[in-house]
Amino acid sequence: MNNNLLEKLSEIEHDQWMEWSKDIASKEKISEERKKRWEKLWVPYSELTEEVKEQDRKYARKVIEAILKE
């Protein structure tokens, strides 16, 4: 698997999650604990820990697998 592609798709996945989570946080009642947890992750992909990046990579791999099956 192309690591550059995996990292780019993971970055896009993170950007998508940030947009979604910021929208949810601004429109719906979520706990302060959850909001604080999310706010810590509202940073560029490059600033995430490897553990958190791996969560984005999990979904990026699913995208790659789906494309390769076509």
List, for residues 9-59, the tens digit of each pLDDT value: 999 999 999 999 999 999 999 999 999 999 999 999 999 999 999 999 999
Structural domains of the chain, count? 1
Residue 16 backbone dihedrals phi, psi, to 5 degrees = -65, -45
- pLDDT at residue number 26: 96
Q: Which long-range contacts (CB under 8 A, 24 or more apart) does 42-51 make?
A: 42/18, 45/10, 45/11, 45/14, 45/15, 46/11, 48/14
Confidence of residue 70 (pLDDT cuts 50, 70, 90): confident
Rounded distance, CA 56 to CA 59, Å? 6
Could you tell me the residue range of the domain that residue 39 belongs to? 3-69
Is 54 or 2 the better-scoring residue by pLDDT?
A: 54
